C-alpha cells in the first residue's frame, strides 16, 4: 500500500521515519500532478511546498497549533495531509474542494485567506489573544511567501510583532523568489543577500530572531529549524528556500510562472486541454500595445500580475512602459496619481477583487485631484472557481461613490477596444473599465443608438426596457427572447458607460411600462440602484426591478453554476419579468397616462 493511502490526518506523519516521509513527498507530487492536471488549479506553488508542509505537520500539532497560509493557494499539500485527498477529484468545482483554505472543509483551516500579505496580522492577533488569556499550550505559525512580503500590510504586522512583548510566534518565510512572477524591488535583493549567508539583515534589525536560510526541500533540516523556532518562546523568522514548480518538468521549465495557476492539461505534454478562444484580457492586451505605440505618455502599472492582467505583451514590446510594484495595490494607485501629475497617463491593470484594497487611494489621491488615470479591472463579476474572495462583485457598488470617476462595462471585445480608447482620451478625471474572466465571445452589434447608448434590441411595443451591463448583454438578449415569446415588447440597451448614469436612460425608461437591469455585480449599490435613483431624481415613475448578485459570499464553482445559483439565468429572469408585466396588466393605469403605441419612435 502506498504511504499516501495511509494518511488520514497529520498524526500519521509523526509515526513515519525520515525515509518514509521522503518517499511520501514523492507520492504527494505524483498525486498533485495527476489531480491538478485534470481539474486545473495552483500546481506550481504546491509542488514547491511539499517537504515544507510535511515538516510543519510533524513539528506542530494542527489544529491545536494554528497554521496560517498566505496567500492560501499553497495549501493543497496541507489539504492532502489533513484527510481531504478524495476531494481533489472536484477541486475548485461546485461541491468540491476549494482552491484555498476553507473553514467549511476542515478544522485545520482557520483562515479563508486568499488575499496576500495578511497572515502576519492574523498571527499577531492570535498570539496576542493567547497571551491575554494566559494560554501557553499552543503555537501560532504563519507561512508567507517572499512575494507577499512586498505588500505593505506584512510590514505593518512585522513592525507590531517586533515592537511588542515577546510572544511565541513562528514566521515561515517561504522564499522561492516569486509571487506570480519573479519578486521585484529592494526586498527581493535583500533576500538574495540572505540566501548568500550575509547575516539576519532586516529581521535582526527589527529585533526578530532569525533562523536560516534553510533548504526547504530537506525535511530534516526544516524540522530542526521549526523545532528551534518553537522552543524560542518569542517571534522567530524561519527563512526557507524552496523552488516553485519543483519535480515536474512542465512547471520547472515554464520560466513565466512555473505553473502558478494552470488550466486542465495533458500531464505528459504540458499542453492545455480544450479550445483557446480570445479572452477579454487578450483583447485589452493587444489594444493597449497599439495605444502605447501611438501615445508615448502611456505607462501601465501592475501589482505583481503582469501576465494575468494582460500587460505581458506590452512589457515584451516596450519594457520601459510597464511598472510592476509587487503586491502593493495602494502604492500602485497613489504612484499613478503622481505619474499623472508629472504628465504621464497611467493605466492601472488590476483584478477587481484587489482594487478594494486601494479604495482610499483611488478616492483621495486620484479622484480628489481629478487625475486622468485609467483603471482596468480584470476578473470583474463572477470568476467562479477561485471562490468567494476572488469574485469581482463589489467594484460597481464600491466605486460608484467616487466623484468624477467614469466607469465603462464593455459587452464584447470590440466594445472593450473602443471604450479603452475613449478612457485614455479622457483628460478631466479618472476612468475605469471592468470586464470578466474568460472568452470575449461573439461581437454583439447595436441596431441603433440613443443618447450615446447602444440599443441592442427593439422588438414590439414599449413594454419592458432591459439595461444590459457589460458581458451580461448576452444574457439580457436571451431574456428578451423569452419575454418576447410571451407577446411582450422589449427594448435592450447597453449604456456602455454605466457611471455616471446617462440621463437618456431616464428618458427611455419613461416611455416603457417596466425597466429592469441585469448585472454581475452586487444588487446592493450596483448599477441597478444607480439607475433607480436616476429615475427617481428625474420624476420617472416607471416600475423598476434590479437583477444582480445577492449580498452574500458566493461559493466556488463554474461561472455558469454560480450565476445560476444567483438566479441570473435567462429562464429565471424571463419568468420574473413576465410575472411583473402580468401584475402591471392587472392594475388600472393612472389617470391621464397613455402608453406609446407599438412602433412609435423615441
Q: Which of 389, 316, 306, 400 is nearest to 350 (CA)?
A: 306
Neighbours of 307 (CB within 10 A): 17
- 156 marked as part of a ligand binding site: no
Neighbours of 549 (CB within 10 A): 25
Cβ atoms of 254 and 43 within 8 Å: the answer is no
- 44 marked as part of a ligand binding site: no
Element at 290 (helix H, strand E):
helix 280-294
- 147 marked as part of a ligand binding site: yes
DSSP code at position 263: P
Here the cell at position 483 is 419575454
- 196 marked as part of a ligand binding site: no
d(CA 175, CA 317): 30
The beta-strand segments (E) located in 400-452 are 406-408, 431-434, 448-450
- 556 marked as part of a ligand binding site: no
DSSP code at position 41: B
- The label of the residue with cell 492539461 reads 265
Residues 392, 397, 401, 407, CA torsion sign: positive
- 176 marked as part of a ligand binding site: yes
- 270 marked as part of a ligand binding site: no
Here the cell at position 295 is 501615445
Looking only at the bridges linking them, the beta strands covering 322-324 and 298-302 are: parallel
d(CA 80, CA 57): 11
Whether omega before 213 lies within 30 degrees of 0, making that bond cis, reads yes
- 116 marked as part of a ligand binding site: yes
Here the cell at position 485 is 415569446
Residue 329 appears among annotated catalytic residues? yes
* Residues sharing a CB contact under 8 Å with residue 159, sequence separation 6 or more, in sequence order: 206
Here the cell at position 276 is 483557446
- The label of the residue with cell 471592468 reads 434
Distances in Å between the Cα of 512 and the Cα atoms of 351, 463, 492 are: 37, 5, 12
- 579 marked as part of a ligand binding site: no
Residue 79 appears among annotated catalytic residues? no
Residue 357 appears among annotated catalytic residues? yes
Catalytic residue (choose from 79, 92, 321, 357): 357
Cβ atoms of 151 and 327 within 8 Å: the answer is yes
Catalytic residue (choose from 35, 167, 246, 329): 329
- 146 marked as part of a ligand binding site: yes
Catalytic residue (choose from 66, 244, 371, 458): 244
Q: Which residues are annotated as a binding site?
A: 73, 114-116, 146-148, 176, 248, 329
Binding site for Mg(2+): which residues?
A: 146, 176
- Catalytic amino acids? 244, 329, 357
Amino acid at each position: 500500500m502506498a504511504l499516501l493511502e495511509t494518511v488520514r490526518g497529520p498524526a500519521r506523519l509523526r509515526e513515519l521515519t525520515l525515509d518514509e516521509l521522503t518517499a511520501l513527498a514523492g507520492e504527494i507530487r505524483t498525486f498533485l500532478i495527476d489531480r491538478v492536471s485534470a481539474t486545473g488549479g495552483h500546481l506550481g506553488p504546491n509542488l514547491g511546498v511539499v517537504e515544507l508542509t510535511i515538516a510543519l505537520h510533524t513539528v506542530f500539532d494542527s489544529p491545536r497549533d494554528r497554521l496560517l497560509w498566505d496567500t492560501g493557494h499553497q495549501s493543497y499539500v496541507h489539504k492532502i495531509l489533513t484527510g481531504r485527498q478524495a476531494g481533489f477529484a472536484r477541486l475548485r468545482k461546485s461541491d468540491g474542494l476549494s482552491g484555498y483554505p476553507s473553514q467549511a472543509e476542515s478544522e485545520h483551516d482557520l483562515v479563508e485567506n486568499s488575499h496576500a500579505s495578511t497572515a502576519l496580522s492574523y498571527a499577531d492577533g492570535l498570539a496576542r489573544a493567547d497571551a491575554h488569556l494566559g494560554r501557553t499550550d499552543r503555537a501560532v505559525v504563519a507561512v508567507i511567501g517572499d512575494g507577499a512580503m512586498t505588500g505593505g500590510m506584512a510590514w505593518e504586522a512585522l513592525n507590531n510583532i517586533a515592537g511588542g512583548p515577546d510572544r511565541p510566534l513562528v514566521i515561515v518565510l517561504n522564499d522561492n523568489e516569486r509571487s506570480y512572477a519573479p519578486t521585484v524591488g529592494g526586498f527581493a535583493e535583500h533576500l538574495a543577500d540572505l540566501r548568500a549567508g550575509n547575516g539576519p539583515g532586516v529581521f535582526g534589525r527589527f529585533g526578530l530572531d532569525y533562523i536560516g536560510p534553510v533548504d526547504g526541500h530537506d525535511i530534516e533540516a526544516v524540522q530542526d529549524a521549526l523545532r528551534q523556532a518553537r522552543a524560542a518562546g518569542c517571534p522567530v523568522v524561519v527563512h526557507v528556500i524552496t523552488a516553485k514548480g519543483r519535480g515536474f518538468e512542465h512547471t520547472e521549465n515554464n520560466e513565466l510562472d512555473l505553473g502558478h495557476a494552470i488550466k486542465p492539461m495533458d500531464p505528459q505534454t504540458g499542453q492545455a486541454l480544450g479550445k483557446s478562444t480570445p479572452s477579454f484580457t487578450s483583447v485589452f492586451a493587444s489594444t493597449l500595445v497599439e495605444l502605447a505605440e501611438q501615445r508615448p505618455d502611456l505607462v501601465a502599472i501592475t501589482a505583481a500580475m503582469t501576465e494575468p492582467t494582460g500587460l505581458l505583451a506590452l512589457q515584451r514590446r516596450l519594457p520601459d512602459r510597464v511598472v510592476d510594484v509587487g503586491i502593493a495595490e495602494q502604492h500602485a494607485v497613489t504612484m499613478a496619481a503622481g505619474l499623472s501629475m508629472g504628465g504621464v497617463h497611467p493605466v492601472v491593470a488590476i483584478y477587481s477583487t484587489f482594487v478594494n484594497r486601494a479604495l482610499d487611494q483611488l478616492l483621495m489621491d486620484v479622484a480628489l485631484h481629478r487625475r486622468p488615470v485609467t483603471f482596468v479591472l480584470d476578473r470583474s463579476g463572477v470568476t467562479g472557481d477561485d471562490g468567494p474572495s476572488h469574485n469581482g462583485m463589489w467594484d460597481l457598488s464600491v466605486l460608484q461613490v467616487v466623484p468624477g470617476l467614469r466607469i465603462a462595462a464593455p459587452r464584447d471585445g470590440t466594445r472593450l477596444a473602443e471604450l479603452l480608447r475613449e478612457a485614455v482620451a479622457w483628460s478631466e478625471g479618472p476612468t475605469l473599465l471592468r470586464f470578466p474572466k474568460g472568452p470575449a465571445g461573439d461581437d454583439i452589434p447595436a441596431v441603433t443608438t440613443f443618447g450615446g447608448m447602444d440599443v441592442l434590441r427593439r422588438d414590439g411595443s414599449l413594454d419592458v426596457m432591459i439595461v444590459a451591463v457589460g458581458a451580461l448583454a448576452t444574457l439580457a438578449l436571451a431574456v428578451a427572447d423569452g419575454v418576447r415569446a410571451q407577446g411582450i415588447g422589449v427594448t435592450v440597451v447597453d449604456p456602455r458607460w454605466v457611471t455616471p448614469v446617462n440621463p437618456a436612460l431616464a428618458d427611455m425608461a419613461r416611455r416603457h411600462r417596466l425597466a429592469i437591469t441585469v448585472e454581475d455585480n452586487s444588487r446592493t449599490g450596483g448599477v441597478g440602484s444607480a439607475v433607480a435613483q436616476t429615475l427617481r431624481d428625474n420624476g420617472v415613475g416607471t416600475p423598476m426591478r434590479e437583477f444582480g448578485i445577492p449580498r452574500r459570499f458566493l461559493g466556488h464553482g463554474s461561472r455558469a453554476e454560480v450565476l445560476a445559483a444567483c438566479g441570473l439565468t435567462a429562464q429565471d429572469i424571463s419568468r420574473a419579468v413576465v410575472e411583473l408585466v402580468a401584475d402591471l396588466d392587472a392594475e388600472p393605469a393612472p389617470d391621464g397616462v397613455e402608453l406609446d403605441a407599438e412602433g412609435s419612435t423615441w
